[in-house]
Structure 1
Amino acid sequence: MSIEFLLTSLVIILIPGTGAVYTIATGLVAGRVSSTFAAFGCTLSIAPHVIAAIFGLAAILHTSAILFQGIKIFGVIYLLYLAYQALKSRGPLKIDNTDNLPVNKISIVKSGILINVLNPKLSIFFLAFLPQFVDPASPTWAAETLLLGGSFMAMTFVVFSIYGVCASALRKAVLGSDIFMRWFRRTTAAAFAGFGLKLAFSEQ
């Protein structure tokens, strides 16, 4: 495993995306443990895209406009749904937990998975990204690609968990501020809406 792969992966993971925003929001509202579950869900959702890249499913997705558009539409709808839920403080992104009510960890993981699974661009990304660091002539190229994908997932989990822990550290200070929570709900909703629109207007 090359240092170039590790550094490139780290830069890609550090750039805030839907998973990072979701994990941060969860940590801020529900605490460190819940944010770890959010990070786990977002990380787990990478596995299907890595497997798709290994078996060439991403190539099929890239060439099939109907399939690509179909998955993309579901992804856009879900991101806009999360934006609405964040704005209204409902569902998996309920940004209002001042009473410290129990949080459904399974629901958190499911939402984290759906955020990335419904983004067909990720499969195409891994199809283009991972082969750069594997020798296609090697008899073990599939195993090597899987190892790279697993390493990318491990790094994602660590980085996202750190995001969540940092957010949870601010939890007590901000949950009691109506002004901050109102601003945070709107910002989180705008972020997911922006991600949804970006995906909607993306090309294959």
Structure 2
Amino acid sequence: MKALGIINYETFLIAGIILNITPGADTLYIMSRSISQGTKAGIFSVLGIISGAIGHIILASLGLSIILAQSALAFQTVKYLGAVYLIFMGVKSIISSSKSGLSLNSKPPQRHRKIYISGVFTNLLNPKVALFFLAFLPQFIGHEHSESPLPFLILGLTFLTTGTIWCVIVAVFAGRLSEKFRQNPKIKTWLDRVSGTIFIALGIKLALTKN
């Protein structure tokens, strides 16, 4: 790995796994989707979040994420867009839960596509993710390769690989755990409301984040 400009790769791998399994906003988001809408919904949310993270890694490797770190206006703009989006999804989930049969009658492919896109935007519109990669990845890149995008991409994709495995496990576990509960319309309605409340809470938390 040193030939590619990467140092202490084993340490990076261990640190990355620890960070992946540490509960955070992404974990809560995936669990909420899985509990209220099932395992497939959780997995599609994982794919969306990972796709958004890939976008952040590419931007970081090209040095574009530095704009968020150095520009208060850019950081605030992305942050509030992400917060509004999360709160909108939360309110929509709560309102939809009161409409009997709405979720059950929607076409799975369309629903899953929407969940995937929501995951992408949820991650892309979170400036904290961009700042995380900017702060974490360079610690394992040799100084002489600091301006090369290749080490960023390799480390970023490694981090996402272990993260994807963990997130899929979370989605499957949460989805199966709530499967019987979701078969009861009344309980499913409450699960949707709880899920919506969590989205709103995540949006408010993001809005209060300081640069």
- 2:108 pairs, out of 102, 107, 123, with 102
- 1:11 and 2:24 matched: no
| Gap runs ≥5 in structure 2 | 1-7
**RMSD (Å) for aligned C-alpha atoms:** 2.6
Normalising by structure 2, we get a TM-score of 0.82
Deviations 1:70-95 (A, max 9, x none): 111111100111211222236xxxx9
Query: 1:193, 1:30 → 2: CA distance?
Result: 17
- 1:128 and 2:135 matched: yes
Deviations 1:140-170 (A, max 9, x none): 9531221110011112211111111112213
CA 139–64 in structure 1, closer or farther in 2 if over 3 Å, else same: closer
Query: 2:148, 2:91 → 1: CA distance?
Result: 43
Query: 2:46, 2:146 → 1: CA distance?
Result: 33
Equivalent residue runs for 1:11-30 within 5 Å: 11-30=18-37
The number of residue pairs the alignment matches comes to 200
The answer to whether the 8 A contact 2:45-2:119 is kept is: yes
CA 151–39 in structure 1, closer or farther in 2 if over 3 Å, else same: same
- 1:68 and 2:71 matched: no
Q: Which stretch of the first structure deviates more once superposed, 166-175 or 22-31?
A: 22-31
Identity rate, percent = 28
Normalising by structure 1, we get a TM-score of 0.84
The answer to whether the 8 A contact 1:130-1:148 is kept is: yes
CA 32–184 in structure 1, closer or farther in 2 if over 3 Å, else same: closer
Q: Which stretch of the first structure deviates more once superposed, 135-144 or 2-11?
A: 135-144
The answer to whether the 8 A contact 1:79-1:195 is kept is: yes
| Gap runs ≥5 in structure 1 | none
**Given residue 108 of structure 2, which amino acid in structure 1 is its aligned partner?**
P
